Chain A
């Protein structure tokens, strides 16, 4: 590799890192400057001590967990069945799962409100619980491209058809095959999808705001409109959560190497 090529590579890397890290460093530094003249964690203490933070964060975490559970129940059997019995349908299913990337969340949520308002045949927005369920469906839709791709990639690493037949020949029904054979072998992929879903749900604003639910995203926006240092501290916390999720994906992938057979 010539000196010029190496130099260009390093310059590109430094530019990239500067582009991404400088705003983060600036924000983190700003979040520590609440006390005049010295660095302190006052903004973090204030945010973490705020009952509305605890309330909205807990709400979003619970919603994320339900979304993950619903996403796994929806995506794993679907991706499995498409791979096993309907391989011809894969391009169509992939297209459908990609739609949330091109249809804005605001369009989806207005569609929901129109379809499930109090004067519709299924008035989900009529109750808090109904709206929560609707929001969970919305989150699952937003996370669908990531969850489906993660699970499908996981299924690609195992011989789905033969493992299914082996389990069936040993007396297993479909639920046992899915629960004891397929799911454990794509667990890392499912966890990747789950962590991505978690990160999406924690930071989501549009759907939660328009459905008027007390989620973390809208709280972040309200705080940002009225305070100076606390929103920066919250953003750092949100980034930390996302990075922790990514770290957990890496950890799960690393641990799985001890139990996965090479193909």
Chain B
């Protein structure tokens, strides 16, 4: 049995059902991300686990104990908010020690734990500062330490990196993951940023329209999306319209090219998809399908260059590494692209 169990969870606001039959089991020490666009219900699920929203129906159990009827302050859950939510009138040390003080811990114990937490987040020297004297990244680290100080059963992170600039976001997400692994605390992380979810999580729950479309490891979600929505939402996707020639072997015609997916496909027209990294410029060994196209744009991202080519009326995006020996082709250049047909994803029938 999972450490945190969510069964048949539903939430309606008036006639609007924002969470529909949501089920999830999280093991102790696992880091699970709820990933989805705005309004998909991910934050509502998190808030129901925290106790800030009451489920319309369903069950939430932590360590085998049903917590639905418990108030937020009785659930022993730590939460980090997008807006930091540090208490402006308290110093960093007092903020971190707040939960311990509420719990009635003796001063000596509190002081030792606060020091331990300050050391954990690397802000040992800043205990006497007020929140407004810290940067956004520092404030969020303090918020994390404050949530962790009372040793909660579960840590909830509600888009904690959204308010930070790109560089701080990357370093802080690594820091959060390292701290989570070190403490082995069960964590639910809400984000709409797929990169964050893919890089930090043990498992990802992709949510859409109040339901969990797919639950899986980052590798599974990215490489084997269960639905068209997941395929489109997680990562960049090129779509290719294809006609099935032989459904049993998965032989299809894409424009003027034939390819074999080596798996059964439905009859008729289908929609296939390829990630940019599945497509290579030029003929490559092991790639059995060749497409002819014309470069339409070149976007330079530093180590990676993203190119777009028009192939049979569709724009295909693909990536190449930036090397001084092989400059990218200029827009207007005719090119050959190759890919492995069995990598193609089936995302729908036409």
Contact = CB atoms under 8 A, between A and B. Distances in A.
A165 B85 contact: yes
A162 B85 contact: yes
A162 to B, nearest CB: 4
Contacts of A102: none
A165 B146 CA distance: 13
A171 interface: yes
Contacts of B131: 261
Nearest to A162: B85
A172 B83 contact: no
B81 A162 contact: yes
A262 interface: yes
A255 interface: no
A108 interface: no
Nearest to A157: B88
B83 A184 contact: no
A228 to B, nearest CB: 51
Interface centre among A165, A166, A262 (most CB of B within 10 A): A166
Interface string A152-177: 00000011001101111111110010
Nearest to A173: B73
B50 interface: yes
A259 B88 CA distance: 6
A159 B85 contact: yes
A187 B131 CA distance: 18
A60 to B, nearest CB: 32
Interface string B128-147: 00111000000000010011
B219 interface: no
Chain A binding surface, main DSSP class: helix
Contacts of B72: 165, 168-169
B229 interface: no
Contacts of A133: none
A169 B89 contact: no
Given A261-B131, A262-B132, A168 B85 contact: no
B50 A165 contact: yes
B102 A171 contact: yes
B89 A171 contact: no
B22 interface: no
A84 to B, nearest CB: 12
Nearest to B51: A168
Contact of A166 (B51, B76, B79, B130): B79
A170 B86 contact: no
Nearest to A177: B73
Contacts of B77: 169
A185 B73 contact: no
Interface in B103-151: 103, 130-132, 143, 146-147, 150
B52 interface: yes
Interface in B198-230: none
A260 interface: yes
B88 A169 contact: no
Given A171-B150, A261-B131, A166 B81 contact: yes
A139 to B, nearest CB: 29
Given A181-B87, A184-B89, A176 B102 contact: yes
**Residues of A in contact with B, size category:** 20 to 34
Interface in A1-33: none
A197 B50 CA distance: 40
Contact of B81 (A158, A165, A173, A176): A165
A261 B132 contact: yes
Contacts of A185: 87-89
Contacts of B99: 170-171
Contacts of A173: 71, 73
B88 A261 contact: yes
Given A165-B50, A165-B79, A165-B81, A170 B98 contact: yes
Contacts of A159: 83, 85
A237 B98 CA distance: 45
Contacts of B51: 168
Nearest to B52: A165
Contacts of B143: 166
A102 B53 CA distance: 41
Given A184-B89, A185-B88, A169 B103 contact: no
Interface in B53-108: 71-73, 76-79, 81, 83, 85-89, 98-99, 102-103
A167 to B, nearest CB: 7
B85 A172 contact: no
Contact of A260 (B81, B88, B146): B88
B81 A168 contact: no
A55 B156 CA distance: 59
A261 B81 contact: no
Contacts of B79: 165-166, 169
A166 B131 CA distance: 15
Contacts of A262: 132
Contacts of A158: 88
Contacts of A258: 130
Interface of A: 158-159, 162-163, 165-173, 176, 180-181, 184-185, 187, 258-262
Interface of B: 50-52, 71-73, 76-79, 81, 83, 85-89, 98-99, 102-103, 130-132, 143, 146-147, 150, 156
Given A169-B77, A172-B73, A260-B88, 4 more contacts: A165-B50, A168-B71, A170-B147, A176-B102
8 contacts: A165-B52, A165-B79, A166-B143, A166-B146, A168-B51, A169-B73, A173-B71, A180-B98
